[in-house]
Structure 1
């Protein structure tokens, strides 16, 4: 069976209709500049090549970094992710962009594709879910179907790449989910991002061996042994609690509080000692390094560690002994940590508290809950008092507190979104946030001065040009931003956030400011955290779900137990460099998937509300229309061509559209009433139209 590219409009139970494609033309390299890079295709058929840059060998200017535009007719069979050689086309004098033709595919960037299977009697094909693989259906012989049926989500391995007008050919290696299966869409996205909810057998075997499970069905655990207690401070008689979300199962942080006779507070932050069970360079450790982080996707989790650890022996469940690494901090009335201690410990959590219950006690004076937890109610009041002090201190130094609404999506048993609401960020959430922040800061500073190998959390100052753009942007709202943009202080931005609080454009300004920031990352150098306004910062409090926390726990314990030799120091510096790089990449990858799943379910939700009207706020302006965000965080596009009451001009510098005849204006922060006109789940696109009053 031939596998040439076929007409999608004529998919029948016959041989496919082939498209006529000219044989690719080689480009003469005489006097033509060529550049190597990675191709990224767009769903509309064109692509961009990101040039390969090696500044150590050959420093390049900003112009040479610019992506090269590749028209669809000039792709010459290259697929998304391919490493290619591009021949640059002659540049127009007034053009700021570069354009080229793909002359050669050096190496293919993809070996397998996730998509939807469609079959006929004698052949089948997989339509990629990733829209970067535009018009690149993969031809599959009947012998390579692997029992897949039409509509199933599958993985297809590429066995022949497209060339000379032929489409790619592959064989199905995995059926991810059957057509109509609940949660199948999310499973397919997880697989598309090359992530896995299950673990290799050797990892599961190691997890089972160290998790001390006596009876799997009852999840009973062997008690902590006398040997494991050695060298640890026994805190089991201390009142220690956890506060988490109601659905959380991986409880990795617990807290304790005391009011001292001198008026200071003694805050204890006790973190699960995951490194006790995850042996360095063991199967679990290597898998955790590879994963880098746990990923949270609406109704499911892709854990960094097997559940036997994350939900079992490492989870700080109530009424059981658990091994921990503790930070004890004496904090004065100004929020200053006047002394601290970091040590190995063993705890026995008194209560597994949830955010809503603690918040109800503090915000609503819920008598039934106060009575139920009368043994810890005084501690909870003390925690609030200290959290307020810590928050005030952060506020004074200019720590940025972006108060974004986050979506809380509820799915039914079939995986269909039934509600999209804003998640509440209540007082209990803020208490835990403040306590974890101060613990992370204290640990980072302690080990910075010890000059130990470490992994820090770094957030660099924003680039001057981005701050200049933001300054110009807020001027449109009548806001004058103070300070030198070349050396902006976070307090300037913090004050601006307070200025817009409560305004209709608050969320817009918050969003644009956040986009002006650089992304935080992990590094072995302690270069400060701009957003928090601190010099020393790390991630210490979540070793169950973040690898940087896990590796620094291992280092901290080695130092506590007697120090690190020169040889070990060199070894750990190499390991921390690797962990920093891989964890930063894994975090970005996880965030992309989390956003994609959220967009998928939001679009699906709106597909059940076509024709309905909602109030929203204009959250973004482009030359082709403006975006409107609803109170539940769902965002849709009002296309300029749908504004049929006038012809509207786009004024980019003023972030608005203005009618030529009516002078009617649509600008950022405006409240508008819209009607849902379209929701394309495959493309994650939602269209609104203005509902005239």
Structure 2
């Protein structure tokens, strides 16, 4: 049977459009039940039990479970409990979940494909008896609810021995279902009748929405209604942006707007926003603007924040609405209630900038020494804490596998196996370049090309060549793996790569953005193997002036895949006159000139502590710490990758001025540089931050011959003053905002690492369209789609950086399990109540709180806001001062092991100075 579905849509050029689509209805769509003798399904397609015994006291008869869309979205954690079986997922629900939440859809898909769960997807929208037309005046939501009830009733009539039970938290939907002769109840009522130890605890706690704290000590202001928010945004009185909680002060946060950052201070101004939320703020009158606090505040039970009167005030606001919750699951530990038999406890997240969460559990005794996962359901206006529910236990606290899983979950790293649909998009293992493909490309297989990478690198996505031309100039080329040839738009592998956005590098593992067949084999530019590439080739003078630039799809055959050390050895060996060695020497010579030109132009050369662990291949435990060695060849490769990125950025911007995917680095506000300038002044140096070039020159001149690490420290501190570089769509910003401050480049993008960055895949597609190599990418012309893509790219890149640092911290914990060592450190920042100390050997940073734990004993420390120093008697602490600390692992609290350090030198008489917070990897806000 054929029906027609008619839609009316507004179109800005054509007015109202009438859209008519054909909708086919059939009578041979089977029910999937083993008891059915009517439907002509194969045995393999009968997944529902013939006698589905009830597992809940709330229902006494054999039944199948049906759910409405909100029940799936709200209770997806509970739905994942294996106790629930024989579930019919209707097409109506599946499509609506897919439309409203891709994350929930993926999880629902995993449940459906798990054969042990006995879940069946019934295509009710195409079965004649279960399809319902939308009535005049009926909302789409009401129509879908009616379709769900009709399908559930059809099952009950179709299978007389089995009842249908509809689980919905919508009271009106339940009432109408009961009137039709169905059994309907809330998910919670059904779950509480089961004997599952975890099902009830995984229920969404929205039923607590009216709960208020007994002491009423912290009541927030209600958020504005959506209509008021829209009116305020349109009038320019309210502003929308992402909310970033401070990692040093739980009472402060920043909301990033297009033209500035807005400071939020105090619990009332934060108004229940959580890191990662998209919020709407009201900017306060200038008379109420404040300066960021110089306090380190780690406890959310602290009093209101105190601003730093010595610092410049900045735009200050408060949250008036939350338009999009960053619904994540958090890992942490259970803070068990001191009241015996109490089921309501507090959950303490591993991330310090996430608030404690109130949950209900009857398993507190079992979970007390476990890492657990909790999801936030909401934050009522009258509650001090958000409310959530238990999701699952991960394992014993301190266990390496458990802590690795925690690390991945809390940074929202997609680490699941690639789906069958993704793997189906891959070429065969014996894939070779076809003659047809070779004919379309420039053949560079006889050109001496090589790659230079870190030891053990298998995902090689860049290679280089250089040789002298007859006119005395050079031809230099960068060749990048042509990943976009294998990943076509709209395919399953493309969608998965877009979701993952980046490869994540941890201390002991790599989590790929694309499957290994591509990342380490068919796309990897291995020595001696023919590979597809995208080449950027320049004619360049001996003085590194670019004469011309060409871009083309190519086929290459790398002469060698070398490490940085191997390439350096060839360059240094004067007796080696091979074409490969000469190519490397020319590249290295030109790279030095290119780097100097960048620096002369104002590019910054900063620093960050980078260390590596040597890992035991069997136990995966760290054996020793190794500092990353930097060679000339590191800089050689970097310079040519930068040159390729800049060249490609200019090309795609010329062709796509409204939708090119570029990367910008905002200039930091002058207030960001205050800690740097004041610390340098104490050391006798003036740092000029009026421009990038002035800053670069100041850093070059700030050298202490007697202290070679001083300049490195200065550059590390400068890195902390920077803002994060961001991907963006050119049509969404004014051109003056395209500038990349750190590199001193008017335009920049990422082209050189498509194996590990999805941004580069999109840039490859844009460049291919520019040169006519491929024009099958219509989405490249939509600036808003590119901007949506950039938002995910920025988020995933930030989370990958945090995950990498957390991995270093975890392995440092493991390294110190049975050790206590004295290590040299340097003070990075002097805070009003703390010192932040860098331990270069381990690339770690610790916050030393300078207040006495004995409240009756006053702290001997005095903070001087004029020069940012802490003093205790004759001892004065400045930024960059050298200290000696004792590092050890505090295992006194089984729930929360802490890597701590104790100040040993200089010694403060009668006062023990020890870290109160954990040591964390030193954060580098990279701008590349």
TM-score by length of 1: 0.78
Residues 264 and 318, structure 2, Cα contact 8 Å, conserved in 1: no
Aligned to 1:434: 639
Aligned to 1:591: 801
Aligned to 2:480: 271
Match of 1:496 among 698, 715, 721: 698
Q: How does 1:116-515 map to 2 (within 5 A)?
A: 116=333, 128-132=349-353, 135-136=356-357, 138-141=359-362, 151-156=369-374, 170-173=389-392, 176=394, 181-206=399-424, 209-213=425-429, 221-362=430-571, 365=573, 376-412=580-616, 413-451=618-656, 453-467=659-673, 470-482=676-688, 488-501=690-703, 503=707, 504-515=709-720
Distance in 2 between the 1:451 and 1:86 partners?
33
Using a 3 Å threshold, how does the CA distance of structure 1 residues 312 and 559 change in structure 2: closer, same or farther?
A: same
Residues 481 and 496, structure 1, Cα contact 8 Å, conserved in 2: yes
Distance in 2 between the 1:468 and 1:164 partners?
38
Distance in 2 between the 1:54 and 1:509 partners?
29
Distance in 1 between the 2:321 and 2:403 partners?
35
> Can you give the 5+ residue segments of structure 1 that lack an aligned partner in the other structure?
2-18, 214-220
Q: Which moved more, 1:519-528 or 1:254-263?
A: 519-528
Shift of 1:289: 1.8
SS at match of 1:437: helix
SS at match of 2:641: helix
SS at match of 2:479: strand
Distance in 2 between the 1:628 and 1:27 partners?
36
Residues 833 and 850, structure 2, Cα contact 8 Å, conserved in 1: yes
Q: How does 1:108-123 map to 2 (within 5 A)?
A: 110=327, 112-116=329-333
RMSD: 4.7
Residues 70 and 101, structure 1, Cα contact 8 Å, conserved in 2: no
Distance in 2 between the 1:518 and 1:102 partners?
22
Q: Which moved more, 1:266-275 or 1:93-102?
A: 93-102
Residues 544 and 593, structure 2, Cα contact 8 Å, conserved in 1: yes
Distance in 2 between the 1:36 and 1:260 partners?
57
Q: Which moved more, 1:290-299 or 1:404-413?
A: 404-413
* Higher radius of gyration, 1 or 2: 2
Q: Deviations over 1:48-86 (max 9, x none)?
A: 5778x999xxx9x98xx4424228xx9999988789999
Greater RCO (CA < 8 Å, at least 6 residues apart): 1
Distance in 2 between the 1:166 and 1:455 partners?
40
Aligned to 1:6: none
Shift of 1:255: 1.0
Match of 1:649 among 833, 846, 862: 862
Shift of 1:329: 0.8
SS at match of 1:387: helix
Residues 235 and 346, structure 1, Cα contact 8 Å, conserved in 2: yes
Using a 3 Å threshold, how does the CA distance of structure 1 residues 36 and 679 change in structure 2: closer, same or farther?
A: farther
Q: Deviations over 1:627-683 (max 9, x none)?
A: 333331333345546899x944322332323343x3x33222222333336657947
Distance in 2 between the 1:508 and 1:166 partners?
39
Residues 613 and 691, structure 1, Cα contact 8 Å, conserved in 2: no
Distance in 2 between the 1:478 and 1:137 partners?
51
Using a 3 Å threshold, how does the CA distance of structure 1 residues 447 and 553 change in structure 2: closer, same or farther?
A: same
SS at match of 1:462: coil
SS at match of 1:376: helix
Distance in 1 between the 2:906 and 2:253 partners?
43
Distance in 1 between the 2:601 and 2:488 partners?
40
Aligned to 1:218: none
Using a 3 Å threshold, how does the CA distance of structure 1 residues 202 and 621 change in structure 2: closer, same or farther?
A: same
Residues 321 and 346, structure 1, Cα contact 8 Å, conserved in 2: yes
Residues 327 and 342, structure 1, Cα contact 8 Å, conserved in 2: yes
Shift of 1:279: 0.8
Shift of 1:313: 1.4
Using a 3 Å threshold, how does the CA distance of structure 1 residues 689 and 141 change in structure 2: closer, same or farther?
A: same
Residues 177 and 187, structure 1, Cα contact 8 Å, conserved in 2: no
Distance in 1 between the 2:221 and 2:823 partners?
57
Residues 399 and 490, structure 1, Cα contact 8 Å, conserved in 2: yes
Using a 3 Å threshold, how does the CA distance of structure 1 residues 374 and 579 change in structure 2: closer, same or farther?
A: same
Distance in 2 between the 1:192 and 1:620 partners?
27
Aligned to 1:4: none
Distance in 2 between the 1:480 and 1:629 partners?
23
SS at match of 1:328: strand
Residues 159 and 171, structure 1, Cα contact 8 Å, conserved in 2: no
Residues 750 and 760, structure 2, Cα contact 8 Å, conserved in 1: yes
SS at match of 1:627: strand
Using a 3 Å threshold, how does the CA distance of structure 1 residues 236 and 117 change in structure 2: closer, same or farther?
A: farther
TM-score by length of 2: 0.59
Q: Deviations over 1:322-345 (max 9, x none)?
A: 111001111112211111110000
Using a 3 Å threshold, how does the CA distance of structure 1 residues 42 and 395 change in structure 2: closer, same or farther?
A: closer
Residues 522 and 584, structure 1, Cα contact 8 Å, conserved in 2: yes
Shift of 1:273: 0.6
Distance in 2 between the 1:570 and 1:110 partners?
29
Residues 39 and 48, structure 1, Cα contact 8 Å, conserved in 2: no
SS at match of 2:792: helix
Distance in 2 between the 1:395 and 1:167 partners?
49
Using a 3 Å threshold, how does the CA distance of structure 1 residues 428 and 211 change in structure 2: closer, same or farther?
A: farther
Shift of 1:293: 1.6
SS at match of 1:653: coil
Distance in 1 between the 2:773 and 2:567 partners?
40
SS at match of 1:538: coil
Distance in 2 between the 1:442 and 1:164 partners?
54
Residues 252 and 263, structure 2, Cα contact 8 Å, conserved in 1: no
Distance in 2 between the 1:625 and 1:23 partners?
32
Distance in 2 between the 1:409 and 1:517 partners?
27
Q: Which moved more, 1:548-557 or 1:149-158?
A: 149-158
Residues 481 and 533, structure 2, Cα contact 8 Å, conserved in 1: yes
Shift of 1:358: 1.7
Using a 3 Å threshold, how does the CA distance of structure 1 residues 240 and 82 change in structure 2: closer, same or farther?
A: closer
Using a 3 Å threshold, how does the CA distance of structure 1 residues 395 and 331 change in structure 2: closer, same or farther?
A: same
Shift of 1:596: 2.8
Distance in 1 between the 2:252 and 2:489 partners?
41
> Can you give the 5+ residue segments of structure 2 that lack an aligned partner in the other structure?
1-187, 189-211, 223-228, 230-237, 294-303, 306-316, 908-928
Distance in 1 between the 2:594 and 2:277 partners?
50
Match of 2:765 among 540, 547, 554: 554
Residues 627 and 638, structure 1, Cα contact 8 Å, conserved in 2: yes
Distance in 1 between the 2:253 and 2:634 partners?
43
The number of residues matched between the two structures is 638
Distance in 2 between the 1:25 and 1:134 partners?
14
Q: Deviations over 1:556-592 (max 9, x none)?
A: 1123226869x94873434333333321222222222
Aligned to 1:687: 901
Using a 3 Å threshold, how does the CA distance of structure 1 residues 153 and 348 change in structure 2: closer, same or farther?
A: farther
Distance in 2 between the 1:93 and 1:273 partners?
54
